[in-house]
Structure 1
Amino acid sequence: MKADVLIIGGGIQGCATAYHLARRGVSVIVLEKDYVARHASGVNAGGVRLLGRDMAEVPLSKASMEMWQALSDELGHDTGFRRQGLINIAVDQADMDTLRTREAKMRAKGYSHERIISRDELRERLPHANPDCVGGVTSELDGYAIPYKATSAFRLAAECRGARIVEGEELLSLRRVGGSWLAQGSTTRFEADTVVNCAGAWADRIALMIGDNVPLSHAAPMLMITARMPHFAKPVVGAVSRQLSFKQFGNGTVLIGGGAKGFADRAAGRTRLDYAKLTAAARTTAEFFPIMRRAAINRMWAGLEAYMPDNLPVIGPAVNAARAFHAFGFSAHGFQMGPVVGQVMADLVMTGHSQFPLGAFRIDRYDRKVL
């Protein structure tokens, strides 16, 4: 099979890249070893979050947030996006001091999307929050989407524009011969002018095939969802200094995250739950929202996620090969940036440039510099 661009990985980054390339008339093949949205892009918490981003990510995240507002209409398929706002709760004055320090840094950079809220406003917007909490910070554009729906929406929109999605085909080898990349899958050989590595928790292996080395690790962030409860929280909720993350859906169920990690078996593509950590996450949620003490957990799961040491992704060109690009290592907060990363990768493939500063995301940022 031949195409202009071969994308390795069928998560939201890979499918969004395929969409943005295909809509510009580029022939694209997406190669996925399992099925689209099988791993992190299909089983994450679905947070569409601008709040609390690393300063290096803010320009990308802001642009992506604007895209999310009308993304379902653009793609012609429902992403499940709901703009609900996000509030990170401050438990004490030390948290409020942290927020004021960050606010000063944000204002100095010209950013005003994060707004500190008082205890009274917190109680007004989240009346069931623990009354000992002293305030927080909000971003009104934030919300959530349904991960599998959103990734599938990009996949379907890309296919409508001619992209080919090949599932159940693992990449075994990749080499550059002349002006082309030759990729051998488990049953099929592929050829393309350009390759894009969006392989998530397996991206370091693909990077090595391309010629780049990267200190990628992987883990299994866990989630749990409750049976239906009376509605008590419209905004998505987090915390300034504690592991807290949850959202209540329209049907009353509550999705609880917070970053607790289970056991990841990358070789087998499987995860196992750590019930002690899940118990701790449930207790933290009940501390912040006593109403959650009556919640019944309905289901628990974990997904395989790629992490970089600085929790910033790799976005940009390969450094040791021509016509190769990377987008991976989003460290459990890449779902929201999927739309804009797809656009960025398409720009890089077609022009070699991006309108966004990408220096912080170089794949070689950990390489030892020779003096």
Structure 2
Amino acid sequence: MTLSADYIVVGGGVVGAATAFHLALSGSVVLLEGHTIASGASGGPGKRGVRASGRDIRELPLAQRAYELWPTLADTLEADIGYERVGRLSVLETDEASPTGQTAFEVLRAEVQESFGIPTIIKEAQELDDLQPGLAKHVKRGLYCPLDGIVDHTATTMAFANAAKRRGADIQEHAWVERVSAEDAVHLRGQRDPIVAKKGVLIACNAHINPLLQRSFGLSLPLYPFNPQMNFVTSKEPLPINTLVSSSSRPVEIKNLGNHVYMISGGRMGGWNEKEDHGYTLDTSFDLNYRDACAILPILSQATFLHANASRQCTQSYDGIPTIDCVPGTNKVIMAAGWSGHGFAISPAVAEAIAAWMITGEKSQVLEPFNVDRWKGMME
């Protein structure tokens, strides 16, 4: 017997779960997750940065909308998601007196972000100590975005899924999708009859999207996988790390998780075991990340290693922004992938826009920069 639903969502990460949450007010929804909710890049230890600062200009309208959504999201989802608006400071390690080079670029970035409604303040050396004590002496200025913050990504993804379920969505874990047809039929492993979507399908299984697109439509997006390493250190006494701290010239980001625990991440990778399909940590990644963190915030030299994790695989697009569009040759099968390690911050706005598109048939202008057409000639 053929089963059906108004909407089918493939993938139980934050984008899939959040989109299901919105769709559930407009019809029947089935969410299919091959493993468990938040088992991919939308879950794991620590917290994610919720930032508009430093983003590609094409993502800034979504970031601005996400700024509006995050502060009330815990109430909306009726769950504690660990959201804190702590601000983000990106330090500049330079003493250039004239607006040239890196300093000029950051001044321009501040102007652009401000034009999109992202409050951005250039802090000079004499102002930095009040904002973030203990910075290295060679840090001469910084770009500060007070509305940036941090959030528990696992708790947020689970909260979206649970809220979608309360609205009537059918959340199915361990439901492996073998293929999706252009007729909006979703075929599950071990199940003879497909589930048919009456109004639309969203494929949002980030790290697994290309194998599914290959099996279903004979195409792949120009994405490559990576698994960032998250490093955690602890101290006997609390360290005065007041904001999310990053660097304009080093791949590092520092978050205060509370209880004397600090997360250091920002671009160092773990290893990946292809045969066993899991990630593993690298000592060199911790050493380099910790070195960079201490270089801009020397008080971290008081901290000691706690643990590291590199188990969660992400996908990086070649231009650093996601693809959100209909699968070529279809008009009701939408794909969303390639978040490049920083998509979580804009996920509430992305899901809102995708759901509105699926419900109304009208694609929002904020999603236009993420069209698949930009990959013409690169898709198999």
Q: Same fold (TM over 0.5)?
A: yes
**Aligned equivalent of 1:351, options 337, 360, 364:** 360
For the structure 1 residues 191 and 267, does the alpha-carbon distance in structure 2 shift closer, same or farther, using more than 3 Å as the test? farther
Query: Which of 163-172 and 360-369 deviates more?
Result: 360-369
TM (normalized to structure 1)?
0.93
| 2:143 aligned counterpart, secondary structure | strand
CA contact (8 A) 2:177 2:186 kept: no
- Quickly say closer, same or farther: Cα 1:265–1:75, change in 2 above 3 A: same
Which one-letter code corresponds to 1:147 in the other structure?
H
Structure 1 residue identity aligned to 2:169: A
Structure 1 residues 182 and 287, CA gap change in structure 2 (3 angstroms): closer
Q: Quick one: which of 185, 196, 213 aligns to 1:181?
A: 185
Partners of 1:74 and 1:318 lie apart in 2 by: 31
Deviation at 1:280, TM superposition (A): 0.6
Who is 2:149 aligned against? 143
Percent identical pairs in the alignment equals 27
State the partner residue of 1:213.
220
Instruction: Determine which of 104, 119, 131 is the counterpart of 1:125.
Output: 131
Write out per-residue CA displacement over residues 142-189 of structure 1, whole angstroms, 9 at most, x where no aligned residue.
110011101011011000001111111211122234xx4132234574
Q: In the TM superposition, what is the alpha-carbon distance from 1:53 to its structure 2 partner?
A: 1.0
Compute the displacement of 1:26 (Å).
1.7
Contact 1:308 1:331 in 2 (8 A): yes
Which ranges in structure 2 are unaligned for 5 or more consecutive residues? none
SS of alignment partner, residue 373 of structure 2: coil
Which of the residues 22, 25, 33 maps onto 1:20? Answer: 22
Alpha-carbon distance between aligned partners in 2 of 1:269 and 1:27, rounded to the nearest angstrom: 34
Partner of 1:68: 70
1:51 aligns with: 53
Task: Report the AA paired with residue 145 of structure 1.
Answer: V
Cα distance change on mapping 1:278 and 1:325 into 2, 3 Å:
same
Aligned partners of 2:84, 2:113: CA distance in 1, in Å? 25
1:254 Cα deviation (Å)? 0.3
Q: Distance in 2 between matches of 1:267 and 1:169?
A: 22
State how far apart, in whole Å, the 1-side matches of 2:248 and 2:319 are. Answer: 19
SS of the counterpart of 1:56? helix
Q: What is the identity, as a one-letter code, of the residue corresponding to 2:174?
A: G
Q: How many residues align?
A: 365
Partner Cα distance (1:300, 1:346) in 2: 36
Would the alpha carbon gap of residues 349 and 268 (structure 1) be closer, same or farther in structure 2, given more than 3 Å must change? Answer: farther
2:254, 2:247 → 1: CA distance? 10
Is 1:243 aligned to 2:251, yes or no?
yes
CA distance in 2, matches of 1:338, 1:266: 28
> AA paired with 1:174?
V
Task: Give ranges in structure 1 of 5+ residues lacking alignment.
Answer: none
The answer (yes or no) to whether the contact 1:246–1:254 under 8 Å persists in 2 is: yes
Structure 2 partner of 1:190: 195
How far the C-alpha of 1:207 sits from its partner, in A, is 2.8
**In structure 2, distance between residues paired with 1:83 and 1:154:** 20
Q: Counterpart amino acid of 1:103?
A: A
CA gap of 1:128–1:215, structure 2 versus 1, over 3 A, is same
> Which residue matches 2:4?
2
Q: 1-side partners of 2:174 and 2:274: how far apart?
A: 16
Shift of 1:268: 4.2
Aligned partner of residue 232 in structure 1, secondary structure: coil
Quote how far apart the aligned CAs of 1:249 are: 2.0
CA distance in 2, matches of 1:210, 1:337: 28
Native 8 Å contact 1:169 1:187 kept in 2: no
